[in-house]
Amino acid sequence: MAASAKTIRFVVSDPSALATACAALASGANAAFASGQQSSFTENDLSWQTAFYHDDGHGLIHLMGKPANSDTQWKHQYYTVATNTWTVVLTGAWNNPGHIYGNFTMDFVTGDVFQQRGFNGVDNVRRLRRWDYTQRASGAAAWGLAPINQDMFTGNEDNHGNGVCYHPNLYGTNDGGAIWSTQSQIHFWRRNTDGRQTIGYTYGAYGEKEGANCYWPAQNSCFVGGSAGPDGNNLLRVTPNVSAGGTPVLANMGTPPIRCQGASHLGGSGFGSLHVHPGNPNKMLLIETAGSRVYETSNGSTWTQISNHPFTMVPRVLCSLRGGLGCVWAIGRNSGGTHYSQLWKPAP
């Protein structure tokens, strides 16, 4: 009888290594997830970015990498949840300066990911690079462009974006698009029409570069910016117009308690990354990068400091895991070559 019961438990429950590790954590606890370490990206690849992203619909988690002053070394890999393995997609691509910053984002509906690169390069500088999940699944080349048939904007721009975010309902329900914030303008790409639109604002109102991004489903909103700038570190919220197809609505959320920024840990503390709380969809977290502070908000403008996070290695990149896993996953690697893979289940 005992042997039979043991066999039944094995057949009914066979979760992934990541799900098992997350389920083992109590609220507020953390633990190493050594089997999830990646070995392809170095310290320099990971130093200048805010987040990596979990496509729970397809069981993939996407991570970008790029060292400073290496214009053709943009890199991409993804982790397959079911097999607990990393797959390298790009080891060096494009010809654009800059860093990943908060200019990497995901469409959680389709599984596509987007990356903005420096405007002073030579490779489609007025468009986002787009990794198309459907093309990947069919075996075709996956990295293309958005917009597809035109540039996102005309004329000159500052070199680096200040937060790029994808909103699946940007122009109405299931009428999504990408948001590309800069120092003095915000550009929109409407996926269904391949159209584009631009709104201007005071230079530096939401920072000058390196701004973070976060799509918050419970608020039907995207948040971008929040980095350093001459007019403060204001965070910008973007929501759909009440009229389907209308111009998206911008709202100044004020200055967050620390900068929302994809800067390097070598610059010291005082900045962090934005993430939807993995265990409470009605909260957004601001998690410090070169420090241990954590803040939460339920509206995007009023913040409360909560218990410190446990992540210690820098540089590291954070992912708020979806699909009920309830954890933030930190991936890192230091100058000595030591790898870091840590899970934390913040209290809801």
**pLDDT tens track for 297-308:** 999 999 999 999
Which one has a higher pLDDT value, 83 or 7? 83
Short-list 172, 154, 185, CA closest to 248? 172
Give the Cα separation of 193 and 191 in Å (integer).
Answer: 6
Please state, in angstroms and rounded to a whole number, the distance separating the CA atoms of residues 257 and 234: 10
| Residue 231 main-chain phi, psi, to 5 deg | -110, 25
Domain ranges of the chain: 16-163+263-344
State the pTM of this model.
0.94
Q: How many percent of the chain have pLDDT more than 70?
A: 96
Q: Residues with Cβ < 8 Å from 132, sequence gap 6 or more?
A: 112, 142, 143, 144
* Calpha distance 5→90 (Å, rounded): 46
For residue 232, name the pLDDT band (cuts at 50, 70, 90).
confident
pLDDT tens digits for range 167-201: 999 999 999 999 999 999 999 999 999 999 999 99
CA distance 320 to 275: 6
CA 126, distance to chain mean position in Å, is 20
The encoded tokens of residue 208 equal 């000058």
Structure tokens, 275: 């993430």
